[in-house]
Amino acid sequence: GIQVEQSPPDLILQEGANSTLRCNFSDSVNNLQWFHQNPWGQLINLFYIPSGTKQNGRLSATTVATERYSLLYISSSQTTDSGVYFCAVDSGGGADGLTFGKGTHLIIQP
Amino acid sequence: SQTIHQWPATLVQPVGSPLSLECTVEGTSNPNLYWYRQAAGRGLQLLFYSVGIGQISSEVPQNLSASRPQDRQFILSSKKLLLSDSGFYLCAWGGSGGARQFFGPGTRLTVL
């Protein structure tokens, strides 16, 4: 099946810093999504971005489908940005089930 | 707007006991429904998906089963729990054709 690799696995930053999270995938995809999991376990859908660039406030994402990678940018980090960020792609099976990477654990220190 | 509910929020069960986790979606019709499991705090694994009432597909062989008795209800079950069934179970819904997926709050299951 398709492989999804995320880097870095862990990242510690000071409040106000910028960061770039990377997601590499092993095959072509029709569906790529970024999620944020907060400390209570809730998964929030940040972006649906199979290709191109999108922005939502301090967050933006870019997917280069031909080169099989996606980037999530976080600018002017806040402590509430802490948590685990997941990249997920369609698994190639039915009904658009997702294959997740192992995530990037982000800690923003005040 | 659409909302997704899961219960219970936490569950502690002995090995060999049965399991029933419920997921319901409001504000949408004929959604695709999914069950995922997250073990050890990282990475989610797709367990089951459903495109309609009574239609269940399994992604991995396991000790669990799923059912969809109503359009917006998805149930995860087991007849006899194993220690390895412990984890964080998340239900999600999405539209057809590669749409975004939205997750419920999850159920933390501990099997002792």
Residues 20-79 of B with CB under 8 A from A: 32, 34, 36, 41-46, 49-51, 57, 59
pLDDT above 80 for B107: yes
Residue A96 has pLDDT above 80, yes or no: no
Reported as a pLDDT band with limits 50, 70 and 90, residue A30 is: confident
User: In which band, very low, low, confident or very high, does the pLDDT at B62 lie, cut at 50, 70 and 90?
Assistant: confident
Q: Are A33 and B101 inside 8 Å of each other by CB?
A: yes
Q: What does residue B75 show for φ and ψ, rounded to 5 degrees?
A: -125, 135
Q: Quote the tokens at residue A90.
A: 């369609």
- Residue B65 buriedness (CB in 10 A; 0-12 / 13-18 / 19+): middle
